[in-house]
Amino acid sequence: MNPPSKRATPPTHAGRFAEPFAPPPPRNPLDRRVHAAIARATASVSPIALLLATVDWAGHLAVSPGKRMELADLGIAQMRRLLRYAQQLAIAPAGSAAHECIEPPAQDRRFQAPEWHAWPFNLMHQSFLLGQEWWDAATHGVAGVSRHHEQVVAFAARQLLDMFSPGNFLPTNPVVLRQTLASGGMNLARGAVHAVEDFERLVGGAPPAGAEDFVVGRDVAVTPGKVVLRNRLIELIQYAPATADVYAEPVLIVPAWIMKYYILDLSPHNSLVRYLVERGHTVFCISWKNPGTDERELDMDDYLQLGFFAALDAINAIVPGQKVHATGYCLGGTLLAIAAAAMDRDGDARLGSMTLFTAQTDFTEPGELALFIDDSEVSLLEAQMEETGFLTAGQMAGAFQILRSNDLLWSRVVGEYLMGERTPMNDLMAWNADATRMPARMHSQYLRRLFLNDDLSEGRYPVGGKPVALSDIELPVFCVATLTDHVAPWRSVYKLHYLVPTEISFVLTSGGHNAGIVSEPGRPRRSFRMHTRPAGGNYVPPDDWLERTPEQEGSWWPAWSDWLATRSGARVAPPAIGAPDYPALDDAPGCYVHEK
C-alpha cells in the first residue's frame, strides 16, 4: 500500500473559481461612460451601494416597532440626562465642573482641552456625544439588516456626525476662539495662507508642504546598494554589506505595490533595511514600477512572475545554493503567501522561511476597507479604470483618509486652517504622500478574487492554471500584526493560524498599519507580544492568545532579527554585488521609486 500523501488537496468548488481569472463580462460602451462619470462625480463611492444599504436598514427598522420604541426610550433618557446636566451647570459654584453625563470613546481626543468643560461648550460637546451614542444604537442591532449594510450605514452616519462636530467650526470651538482672541486673529490669517498653499499644491500635483525636506535618495532611502535587475514591473535592489561577514542565506523583501518600497528604508535611524544589513544579513528588496496606461493589462500573474519569481531567480544567481528568507509587507505579503503555496505545491524548495507584515490571507473580515468593496463598488471602479487604465493614487489616499477622517481630515482642518499651526512633516508622512497607482486588470483581479470571493483562503486561487492551498506551506512563518490596524485588522491577520499548519511565530505590536512596522529600537512607547505555535499545534482563539501572551516593552525588530539569524546558516564572506547575468545597473534607490 502506498503511504498517504502529506495532506489532501482541497476540492475545487464552482468551476469558474478554479480557472484562471476571467474579467467581468464586457459592458456596453455607453454604460461604461456613464458608470465612469458617476465614479468621477462621487469619488468612486457607489450611490447604488449606499442606497441599497440605506433601504435595507430603513426598511427593517420600519417593520421593527420594538427597536423603534427602544430608540425612543433612549432618546428620552438622553434628554433627561442632558437636562440634569444643564441644571447641575446652572447651580454649580463658579469654577467647579458638573459631573458630565457621557464620556467620549477612549480614542476620541477632540474634547480633551479644559476649554471644552466651560459653559456653554460643555453643553455643546455633551449634546454631540449623546447624539453620537443615539445614532450608534440606531444603526446597529436592527434585525434582518445584512452585516455589510449595517456597517455601511453606521459608517455613513458617523461620517456625517463628525462633519458637524462642534470642534470643526470657529464659533463653537473654544480652543480656536481663545487662540483667535489671544493672537488678534492671526491664527485665521495663517490658516487662510495654509489653505491657499495646500489648494495650489493639490491643483499643481505638488507634494504637501514640508515633503521637500525628505527627498528620496538624499534624506530617505539612502542605504547603499545597487539595482541588479530591472524589468517592466520591478527593480531589484541588492544592498551593500555593512559587516565583514554575513549570514549565508539572504533576505528578500516584497513590499506592497500600493506604496513605495522605502517605507522599509526611511531615514537612517528608522530604516529596517539598514538595521538588517548592519546585523549581517544580505538584503534584497523589490521596488515596484509606478504603473501608467501602458501597464493597464498587467495582472496578478505578472506580479508573481515579473515580480517575486524574477527577483528570486536573480538572487539564486547572485547567492547560489542558498535558501532565501522571503518577507512580504501588506499586499506584498499576500503575494508572497500565494507564491509560497505554489512553490510547495510544485516541489520548489528555494525558500527558507516566510515573514509576513500586516498581510491578510483570509479576507472574510478585512476591516473597514470592506466598506468600499462590494460588487457595486468594484463595478464602478472597473468602469473608471477601463477609461484611465489604472486606479489613481488620489483615489486610494482618499479612501484611507475617509476611514480615519477624525485623525487625517478634521483634525488637520482645525489645526492648520483654524488654529493656523502647521503639523510638522516627518519621514513617514512624506512617504505616505508619495502614493502609487494600480494597474486596471491587476486591481480588478485583486478585489474580485481576494476581497469579494476570498479565493485564497478557500483553496480556489489559481497559479499556473491550478489552485493553490495555504495548507501546503511547510516553511516556518514569522507573522507581524499591529494592534490598531485599520487596513489589516490583527484578528484577520491572525487567521493564518488555521490556514497554515507549520510553525508560526506571531507578533502583535503596538501602533498602526505603518507606524507599527516602522518601530525601531529605542523608540518610546513601543511594546509587543510574541508567541510561537509549533508545527501542528492546536489553534488558540485570538482573544485567548492576547490574554495568555505577556506584553514586552520595546521594538520587535531584535526578535525578528534573531529569528532570522537562527535560520540563516553560518557567517560567510559577503557575496558580490550582482552576477554576470545580473550586473549592477544603478545606485539604490534606482529610478522606479522616483516615478510620479
CA distances from 307 to 21, 103, 331, 379 (A): 18, 50, 13, 27
What is the distance in angstroms between the CA of the first residue and the CA of the last residue of the chain?
61
Q: Which residues are catalytic?
A: 330
479 Cβ partners below 8 Å, 6+ apart?
A: 355, 356, 359, 493, 496, 504, 505, 506, 507
DSSP-assigned letters across all residues of 497-529: GGT--S-EEEEEESS-TTTTTS--TT-SS-EEE
Exposed (0-12), middle (13-18) or buried (19+): which is 410, by Cβ within 10 Å? middle
- Helix locations, 173-271, DSSP H: 174-183, 186-204
Cell, residue 12: 475545487
Place of cell 492568545: 545
What backbone phi and psi angles, to 5 degrees, belong to 498? -105, 10
Cell, residue 448: 474580485
According to DSSP, the β-strands at 234-239 and 225-230 are antiparallel
The number of beta carbons lying within 10 Å of the beta carbon of residue 349 is 11
Closest CA to 210 of 425, 368, 509: 425
